């Protein structure tokens, strides 16, 4: 037993977090390779390394996954100071970390750093795929930076191979992500690039992208659905997600064949961006002005939001709740109570419908709360649930309102 315990303790030193071990870079120049400030790490690795997101068998493991900033030529390498071997550890082997990552990469990735560095000069010849839809500038640290958004399709020469490299990021930054079938021509791609100068020459760096699938809507319309949206970590928290989504909206809003826009299982972060953009746009609509908001959610709001902004009824209701909270004087008990009752009435709807909407309630409740079904939940439990749900909703909305106040 003592020997087993000793071996177990010895092996613990060979475990590490995959989230810490994997190092990404978007390389613009050779000096970036040694600059720690250009390194960023994954948000998640469970889609490659299991729920524990751990790697076994190495000491001081670093998985280098580098991309040239424009063309996304990929370099993969593994470094460590020691590795478990069957000869030294009674037949125990290390995880095949290199193979695990490599199988998710398209063919042609590099494993020699010198060869990778030699390809960087070719980034100067890169031109974004598709059509330019929007350009804008942001200022960070007193430096003005320019960005451009393009719309591309798989028919654009070279884009298929480029997308294969671009989509590898989603496994590390979008939960439950999977690669899409690019042969389906109903996919559209919105690409974000930073445009900068190097030695006086214009250059591009990939900053993010969004995929959209056009579903058929009877009898002769389509319903575009946002599937994946990712702003790469070096560019996050600078408003690029809102710019990307707004550009997509602008592309759809004037098209008569678009019924409305939906989003596939949005993450909390994306839903916040969506709420902000939709609220900002609805603030300009007549039906969402303060005097109308105080009268409650209406069919007029639904119709105007859909016709002018292609917003679904469910999202229009959510925007109404955000904008009504923004317009509500919380120091006035009567106004704030009216708002609370309006939201709780909507939250209470699944209880009224019972079994038909049980799945919705299931997603809203914590696991221990699911022990109670709708039919046997006491009135007190229901009130506690509604109060908790209201407070959580309020916290989310307040973040959106804070951002809207900066407009």
Averaged pLDDT, groups of 10, the chain, 407 residues long? 58 94 98 97 97 96 98 98 90 95 97 97 97 96 95 96 98 95 95 95 97 95 97 97 98 93 94 98 98 97 97 97 97 95 89 56 60 62 88 96 95
- Going by C-alpha positions, the residue among 191, 208, 162, 165 that lies closest to residue 74 is 165
Mark which of 109, 124, 139 sits at the end of a domain. 124
25 within domain boundaries: yes
Residues 148 and 247 in one domain: yes
Residues 175 and 198 in one domain: yes
Q: What is the pLDDT of residues 333-392, one digit of tens each?
A: 999 999 999 999 998 887 765 544 555 556 666 656 554 555 566 778 888 888 999 999
What global pTM score does this model have? 0.91
Residues 135 and 148 in one domain: yes
- Going by C-alpha positions, the residue among 6, 12, 9 that lies closest to residue 57 is 12
Residues 70 and 20 in one domain: yes
Residues 150 and 259 in one domain: yes
CATH number for 204: 3.40.630.30
285 within domain boundaries: no
Domain tally, the chain: 3
pLDDT of residue 10: 76
Mark which of 228, 243, 265 sits at the end of a domain. 265
283 within domain boundaries: no
Residues 51 and 119 in one domain: yes
304 within domain boundaries: no
317 within domain boundaries: no
Mark which of 94, 124, 154 sits at the end of a domain. 124
Q: What is the pLDDT of residues 217-240, one digit of tens each?
A: 999 999 999 999 999 999 999 999
Angle value at C-alpha 232, between 228 and 236, nearest 5 degrees: 105
Residues 132 and 119 in one domain: no
pLDDT of residue 49: 97
> 236 lies in which domain range?
127-265
pLDDT of residue 36: 95
312 within domain boundaries: no
318 within domain boundaries: no
Q: Is-contact 140 104, C-beta < 8 A?
A: no
pLDDT of residue 362: 61
* DSSP string of 252-294, one letter each residue: HHT-TTB--BEESS--HHHHHHHHHHHHHHHTTSGGGSHHHHT
pLDDT of residue 365: 64
Positions annotated as catalytic residues are 264
Residues 138 and 256 in one domain: yes
Residues 21 and 104 in one domain: yes
Residues 38 and 50 in one domain: yes
Residues 65 and 104 in one domain: yes
- Going by C-alpha positions, the residue among 242, 228, 210, 243 that lies closest to residue 174 is 228
């Amino acid at each position: 037993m003592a020997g087993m315990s000793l071996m177990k303790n010895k092996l613990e030193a060979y475990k590490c977090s995959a989230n810490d071990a994997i190092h990404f870079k978007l390389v613009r120049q050779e000096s970036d390779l040694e600059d720690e400030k250009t390194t960023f790490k994954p948000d998640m690795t469970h889609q490659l390394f299991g729920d524990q997101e751990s790697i076994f068998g190495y000491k001081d493991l670093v998985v280098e996954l580098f991309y040239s900033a424009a063309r996304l030529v990929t370099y993969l390498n593994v470094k460590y100071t020691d590795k478990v071997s069957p000869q030294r550890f009674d037949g125990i082997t290390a995880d095949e970390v290199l193979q695990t990552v490599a199988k998710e990469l398209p063919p042609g990735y590099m494993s020699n750093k010198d060869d990778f560095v030699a390809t960087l000069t070719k980034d100067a010849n890169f031109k974004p795929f598709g059509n330019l839809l929007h350009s804008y500038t942001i200022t960070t640290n007193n430096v003005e930076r320019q960005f451009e958004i393009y719309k591309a399709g798989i028919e654009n020469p070279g884009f298929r191979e480029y997308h294969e490299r671009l989509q590898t990021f989603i496994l590390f930054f979008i939960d439950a992500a999977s690669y899409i079938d690019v042969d389906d021509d109903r996919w559209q791609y919105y690409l974000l690039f930073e445009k900068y100068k190097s030695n006086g020459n214009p250059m591009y760096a990939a900053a993010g992208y969004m995929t959209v699938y056009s579903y058929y809507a009877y009898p002769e319309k389509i319903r575009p659905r946002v599937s994946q949206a990712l702003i790469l970590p070096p560019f996050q928290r600078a408003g690029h997600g809102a710019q990307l989504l707004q550009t997509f909206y602008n592309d759809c809003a004037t098209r008569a064949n678009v019924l409305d826009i939906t989003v596939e299982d949005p993450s909390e972060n994306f839903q916040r961006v969506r709420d902000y953009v939709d609220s900002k746009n609805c603030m300009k609509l007549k039906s969402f002005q303060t005097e109308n908001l105080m009268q409650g959610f209406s069919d007029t709001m639904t119709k105007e939001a859909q016709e002018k902004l292609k917003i679904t009824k469910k999202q229009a209701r959510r925007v109404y709740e955000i904008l009504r909270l923004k317009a509500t004087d919380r120091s006035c008990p009567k106004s704030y109570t009216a708002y609370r009752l309006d939201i709780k009435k909507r939250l209470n709807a699944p209880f009224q419908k019972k079994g038909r909407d049980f799945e919705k309630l299931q997603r809203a409740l914590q696991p221990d709360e699911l022990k109670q079904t709708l039919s046997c939940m006491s009135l007190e439990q229901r009130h506690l649930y509604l109060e908790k749900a209201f407070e959580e909703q309020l916290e989310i909305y307040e973040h959106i309102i804070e951002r809207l106040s900066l407009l």
